[in-house]
Structure 1
Amino acid sequence: MTRAENKGTAVVTGASAGMGEVYADRLARQGYDLILVARSEEGLARVAQQVLDATGRRAEVLAADLADPVQLRRVEAVLRARQDLTLLVNNAGVGSVAPLLGGDADAMERMIALNVTAPTRLSYALAPGMVERGGGAIVNVSSIVAVATEMMNGVYGATKSYVLAFTQSLLHEQGPKGLRVQAVLPGVTATGFWDVLGHPLERLPADIVMNVDDLVDAALAGLALGETVTIPGLHQGERWTAFEAARRELSGLFGNARPAARYLPG
């Protein structure tokens, strides 16, 4: 197969299945070589072979549990030493449908490690080099629960709200220096995510479940359009634009030396 234009190397976490696997395929077809990160070395090897067979692109495998601090730092060190990295897709994550105080606190801590700490540290590892080399892109997979925080487990929603806020702040700080940043907010997507949660997709209305290929294709289209926030399932894009405008306007009203009149005595 004829190789597409070389766009450098993309790092995809959670790349052994689901959204990560589709990202690997699409990015290879766009002209990226790949570094694939996930816990399952067998799954990564399968995806890497698929990429090679379909596109001729090289896909390196880096098996690691990003929720483990030692393994995460090993991945950071490997990536920080590379000079060819032009795209990072922070896709690895875990969720929960347990009630906020009904879950295992250790499981919630692991969720925070994977959903919050890992994308933060990997972004810290790659962003400075990208800026120094003249640009690159970081894609952070968040969720619609970043906004609709009541929909699922509260810790899960909080982690995805963090990812959205981190993305917006990263763009504010590093965007003028040439770094592109995108947060992707999927809704219900047809991946193994739901089986892991013990909540099969068959229990959900079919008209709210998006095909994973459609989801990733839409996310990459949003990246090409220069969107900071891409919500594939939101058809009324102007509603998000209005929401963001209202949020920014409201944030400018917070800084006052005196409390509001409603909080004053009498």
Structure 2
Amino acid sequence: MSDQELARAAELISGAEALLVCAGAGFGVDSGLPDFRGDEGFWRAYPPYERLGLSFTEAADPIHFAEDPAFAWGFYGHRLQMYRRTVPHRGFELLRSWGAATEHGARVFTSNVDGHFQRAGFEHVAECHGSIHHLQCLEPCTDDVWPADDVSVDVDTDTMRAREPLPSCPNCGGMARPNILMFGDWSWVPQPSEARLGELTAWRRDLRASRLVVVELGAGTAIPSVRRHAELASAGSGALVRINPREPEIRHGRGVSLPMPALEALESIEKLL
């Protein structure tokens, strides 16, 4: 990567009339969140699952809430606690300040379920995989989704199993689960996420000829939801800044590629603005 690429990124952002932030799991690493990339990364974060021989995909299967809820809530209850106590890094504030300086502001599209964009002060966040900070019925008996603000799950970190009582549905009394799209998930309640995605689509449509700049951070190719959204949003202009230390490539040179950790890249751009 050259200083010229950083300068190009700064030029795009300084000339933006609107900013779309597209963030994947890698964006949270600078906050101290674990990197679940591959089984080794997952097992470094959660050694008990290595002893069980379970991958992230297997641990994040919604079937566990029905067959072994103490196991399921051990995994998601621990993540809920971790996301609550982790402070979003400075990169969130830099992005928010860049968006505030544009005519049409900033919007966020993310696959992250940690709620850190909201904690950092972003008002418009489309979470395509839902949020760990909201719950739903496991069945579901209703399409209701409710905040997990008062939920506290006691987890034995040696076994990663949750202790009773476990969260329940206030409507039917059955098991509750996070309102997160899991692997092989047929009971996820999508309406809250779909509503935010609809608002994002309407905002982009209303921009018309405005200079929209897309900043993509920590979005890999294994689950390419975020990368695809960023590429589609920037297809007409090529105003894409892709920040990714492992997979920074941009097809057909349509944008700026920065093979750097997210916070380092954002702070480097800030110095040029």
TM-score, normalised to structure 1's length? 0.37
Greater relative contact order: 1 or 2 (C-alpha under 8 angstroms, separation 6 or more)? Answer: 2
TM-score, normalised to structure 2's length? 0.36
The structure with more helix, counted as a fraction of residues: 1
